[in-house]
Amino acid sequence: MSKKIILIGASSGFGRLTAEKLAEAGHTVYASMRDLAGRNAANAAAMARLAAERGIDLRTIELDVQSQASVDAGVARAIADAGRIDVVMQNAGDMVFGPAESFTPEQYAQLYDSNVIGTQRVNRAVLPRLRALRKGLLLWVSSSGSAGGTPPCLAPYFGAKAAMDAIAVQYARELSRWGIETSIIVPGAFTSGTNHFAHAGQPGDPSVAAAYESGPYMGSGEEIQRAFAAIVRAWADASAVADAIVTVVDTPFGQRPFRVHVDPAQDGADVGFAVLDRLRAEMLHRVGMGDLLKLASEKGGVPGR
pLDDT in tens, 5-57: 999 999 999 999 999 999 999 999 999 999 999 999 999 999 999 999 999 99
| d(C-alpha 127, C-alpha 7), whole Å | 14
Q: At 175, is the secondary structure helix, strand, or coil?
A: helix
Alpha helices in the chain (DSSP H): 13-24, 41-54, 68-82, 105-112, 118-133, 155-175, 206-214, 220-231, 239-250, 269-286
| d(C-alpha 3, C-alpha 84), whole Å | 9
Burial (CB count <10 Å: 0-12, 13-18, 19+), residue 251: middle
Q: At 256, is the secondary structure helix, strand, or coil?
A: coil
Looking at the DSSP bridge assignments, the partners of residue 184 are 140, 259
**Residues 192-210, mean pLDDT to the nearest whole number:** 79
**Residues 104-124, mean pLDDT to the nearest whole number:** 97
Annotated active-site positions, please?
142, 157, 161
pLDDT for residue 297: 60
| d(C-alpha 31, C-alpha 92), whole Å | 11
Closest CA to 112 of 186, 167, 67, 164: 164
pLDDT for residue 299: 41
Indicate the class that CATH gives domain 4-293: alpha beta
pTM of the model: 0.92
Compute φ and ψ for 107, nearest 5 degrees: -70, -40
Burial (CB count <10 Å: 0-12, 13-18, 19+), residue 1: exposed
Closest CA to 241 of 43, 49, 19, 8: 19
CA angle 186, 176, 162 (to 5 degrees): 30
pLDDT for residue 295: 84
| Residue 302 binned pLDDT confidence (cut-offs 50, 70, 90) | very low
pLDDT for residue 194: 58
| d(C-alpha 225, C-alpha 228), whole Å | 5
* Segments making up each domain of the chain, as ranges: 4-293
Kindly tell me if the per-residue pLDDT of 268 is higher than 70: yes
Compute φ and ψ for 186, nearest 5 degrees: -120, 90
CB atoms within 10 A of CB 26: 12
Looking at the DSSP bridge assignments, the partners of residue 90 are 8, 140
Position 248, amino acid: V
Closest CA to 59 of 93, 92, 12, 10: 10
pLDDT digits (tens, 9 = 90+) for 153-171: 999 999 999 999 999 999 9
| d(C-alpha 78, C-alpha 29), whole Å | 9
